[in-house]
Amino acid sequence: MGNTLVIAEVHNGALRKATLTAVTFAKKAAANEGGAIFGLVVGSGVGAVADDFRRFGLAKVFVADNAAYQHALATTYAAVVAEVVKENGVTLVTATATAFGKDLLPRVAAKLDAGMVSDISDVVDGSTFVRPLFAGNALARVKVSSTIKVVSVRGTAFDAAKPAGNAADVVAITSAPADAVGTTFVRFDETKSARPELTEAQTIVSFGRGLKGPENIPIVEKLCDALGAGLGATRAVVDAGWVPNDFQIGQTGKVVAPTLYFAVGLSGAIQHVAGMKDSKVIVAINKDAEAPIFKVSDYGLVGDLFKVVPELVEAIIKAKAS
């Protein structure tokens, strides 16, 4: 096998932690097949990101630092990735399946005439990977026959890599292309939140239509505050416009696996469960004892959330203090 390239995701001038799960995947793949693991940082003013990324047991970190790369446009970035792949004997290209990775990697695969496997959860060998599909109701072993393979990694299936070995050499890429293929960045409207980001949160409180309306969101927010939790939601309430899409947990939103997951006033639709069933401990609160969410929860409490959740907030504050 050739070398493996891990594409770093840069967020607010820093290395996004999600990238480190792709590093762990790369190490697992390379342990089977050999070859070096390289990192690639693309952006503008990303020297510090490269300096951070080099600590994680990589052979080299390529850095393409150019004002034209300030925004992560898939068109521009795909050309940079393809060039680094071709010039460095890379046969496995990977990133974590975040919105960034999902947008970029298929374009990279098409450019390199490579087969791509999305959202993999395990490695069988150098060309065979495991991925969930059908809303998590099946796992498939998927084989890639092209020489170059592109893989996006399900962040919840791999631990974040820890700093290891000597810091890698940083190699500047100066001649990479910068054609945005008719694409211009206009603006980014950030979702402001003081709570932990869902894919990194240790505890998540998630709610559904049982909350009755967006005016009742403060009820679950108080539970978040008591637990230091991130706030998630079902597709139904995102669809109804109560919260931004960024809050959505499920097959078509974010896949999460926190230590503790509270499902409040949500029934447990197949597509929601697909995004949270790997959580370590699941607590369900629902007034309907027959709700499917109780089939996947470790602790179920049948009751009216409007009464139960405020009590729970008080009890948790007390329990944490004692």
- Restricted to residues 76-95, the positions that interact with another protein (CB under 8 A) are 78
> Binding another protein by CB under 8 A: which of 52, 106, 170, 217?
106
Instruction: Note whether 32 binds another protein by CB under 8 A.
Output: no
Per rule CB under 8 A, count of chain residues that contact another protein: 90
The DSSP bridge pattern shows strands 128-133 and 203-207 to be unpaired
Q: Which residue has the tokens 């290395």?
A: 15
- Interface stretch with another protein, choices 47-55, 59-67, 207-215, 236-244 (CB under 8 A): 236-244
Residue 197, burial from CB neighbour count under 10 angstroms (0-12, 13-18, 19+): middle
> Binding another protein by CB under 8 A: which of 62, 100, 207, 242?
100
Contacting another protein within 176-195 (CB under 8 A): 180-191
Task: Give the shortest CB-64-to-another protein separation in angstroms.
Answer: 19
> Binding another protein by CB under 8 A: which of 29, 49, 50, 73?
73
Structure tokens at 243: 């919260």
Instruction: Note whether 142 binds another protein by CB under 8 A.
Output: yes
- Interface stretch with another protein, choices 56-64, 71-79, 83-91, 160-168 (CB under 8 A): 71-79
Q: What is the C-alpha separation between 232 and 203, in angstroms, rounded?
A: 10
CB 274 within 8 A of CB 256: no
Indicate the length of the chain as a whole number: 322
> Binding another protein by CB under 8 A: which of 159, 281, 288, 304?
281
Q: What is the C-alpha separation between 127 and 145, in angstroms, rounded?
A: 7
Instruction: Note whether 320 binds another protein by CB under 8 A.
Output: yes
Instruction: Note whether 237 binds another protein by CB under 8 A.
Output: no
Task: Give the shortest CB-174-to-another protein separation in angstroms.
Answer: 24
Q: What is the C-alpha separation between 244 and 147, in angstroms, rounded?
A: 40
Residue 306, burial from CB neighbour count under 10 angstroms (0-12, 13-18, 19+): middle
Q: What is the C-alpha separation between 124 and 105, in angstroms, rounded?
A: 21
Task: Give the shortest CB-173-to-another protein separation in angstroms.
Answer: 20
Q: What is the C-alpha separation between 159 and 21, in angstroms, rounded?
A: 6
Task: Give the shortest CB-77-to-another protein separation in angstroms.
Answer: 12
Contacting another protein within 151-170 (CB under 8 A): none
Instruction: Note whether 321 binds another protein by CB under 8 A.
Output: no
Q: Which residues pair with 281 in a beta bridge?
A: 260
> Binding another protein by CB under 8 A: which of 86, 280, 288, 304?
280
> Binding another protein by CB under 8 A: which of 89, 259, 288, 304?
259
Q: What is the C-alpha separation between 263 and 251, in angstroms, rounded?
A: 16
> Binding another protein by CB under 8 A: which of 43, 136, 210, 232?
136
The DSSP bridge pattern shows strands 90-96 and 3-7 to be parallel
Instruction: Note whether 218 binds another protein by CB under 8 A.
Output: no
CB 287 within 8 A of CB 263: no
> Binding another protein by CB under 8 A: which of 64, 114, 201, 263?
114
Q: What is the C-alpha separation between 294 and 276, in angstroms, rounded?
A: 13
> Binding another protein by CB under 8 A: which of 14, 48, 99, 164?
99
